[in-house]
Structures are given as C-alpha cells and as structure tokens.
Structure 1
C-alpha cells in the first residue's frame, strides 16, 4: 500500500493518506484569538486540506479536539456544529490539555476522513 504525504516538512505532513483514509491535524492561524475565531480558522483550513485529499467534511470518520480551557467548549462547539453537515457527525473526543505548541493557541483539531473513490 502506498502512503501519500502532502505539505511535508522535516517535522510533519499537512495530510497523510493510506488505504483510503486521510489524516489531518490543524492549528489556528491567529495566536491569541478567541476559541470561536481559532476554531473557524482551523475548519476553513480543514475544508481546503480535505478537498486536496479527495475528501470533505461530510466524510469525516473521527475527530479529536484539544482545548487548553474547557470554558471554550461551547464557543468551539457553536462553530463546529454550524460547519458540520447534518447527519454526518464523526466519532469525536474533546479533551483539555495543559498546553499546545504555541501559548496563544486555544484549539487544535485532528481528523480522519474517508477519501472519495476508496469506498
């Protein structure tokens, strides 16, 4: 089985595809912004990366959402719920972490999605 990588650096790849599944992790563009803004930035980037992978938000299989403060849970969910098409919710975990790679990040999201044509 071939493993495809896109946007690869020495440390990470933007997208990894294997066996009909795409793995993507996204972080916000704006450090210090509120959780809703950071979530919106992440989901906008996920749309772009999912399309590049031959997938889409309606094909999400799993999501793990990392928050630095659970007080941001409702704000993040407000953006998430509006973004996700009805009836397509993936399995999901949302966890509070002590911190993310940059102190101004409040949200980080990791997803797995089915790639079109691999079903």
Structure 2
C-alpha cells in the first residue's frame, strides 16, 4: 500500500493518507483568542487539510479532542456542533491534556475517509 505524506517536515506531516483514510492533527493557527476563536481557527485548518487530501468533514470517522482546561468544553462544543454536518458526527473522544504550546486551548487528532 502506498503512503502519501503532505506537508512533511523532519518531525511531522500535516496529513498522511493510507488505504483510503486520511490522518491529521491540527492546532489553532494562533494562540490569540478564547476557546471559540481557537476552535474556529483549528476547524478551518481541518477543512483545508481534508480538502488537500481529497476528503471533507462529512467523511469524518474518529476525532480526539484535547483540552488543557475542561472549562472550555462547552465553548468548543458550540463551535463543533455548528461545524459538523447533520448526520455526519464521527466517533469522538475528549480528554484533558497539557498541550505542547501553553497558549493553545484545543488540539484535535482527526481520521477521515477519502
């Protein structure tokens, strides 16, 4: 099976496509703003990366959400619920975790079909 890596650096790839599935991890483009602004930024990045790989948010399979502060859960979900197409909600987990950049309020690991 062929593996396609996109946006690859020495440390990571923006996305990896294998066997009809795209894998990506996304963070907000800026540390400015509250959980709503950061989630909107992050999901815009997910849209972009999925499109580059030949997929879209209607094909989400699994998403893991990482929040450093669970007090942000409702704010993140408000943006998430408006973003996910009706009837296309993936399997999802949300965990509290310390993120690599202390300014990030959310990070997501995404798996989607092509």
The answer to whether TM tops 0.5 is yes
Q: Map Cα deviations across residues 20-65 of structure 1 (whole Å, 9 max, x no partner).
A: 0000100011114211111100000111110111100000000000
| 1:2 pairs with 2:2 | yes
RMSD between aligned alpha carbons? 0.6
**In the TM superposition, what whole-angstrom CA distance separates every residue of 1:65-106 from its partner, at most 9, and x where no partner exists?**
000000000000000000000000000000001x11111011
Q: Separation in 1 of the partners of 2:102 and 2:15?
A: 24
Residue pairs, 1:37-116, within 5 angstroms: 37-97=37-97, 99-115=98-114
TM-score (norm 2): 0.98
CA distance in 1, matches of 2:109, 2:42: 10
* 1:36 counterpart residue number: 36
Give the number of aligned pairs: 114
Which structure 1 segments of 5+ residues have no match? none
Q: Distance in 2 between matches of 1:48 and 1:78?
A: 20
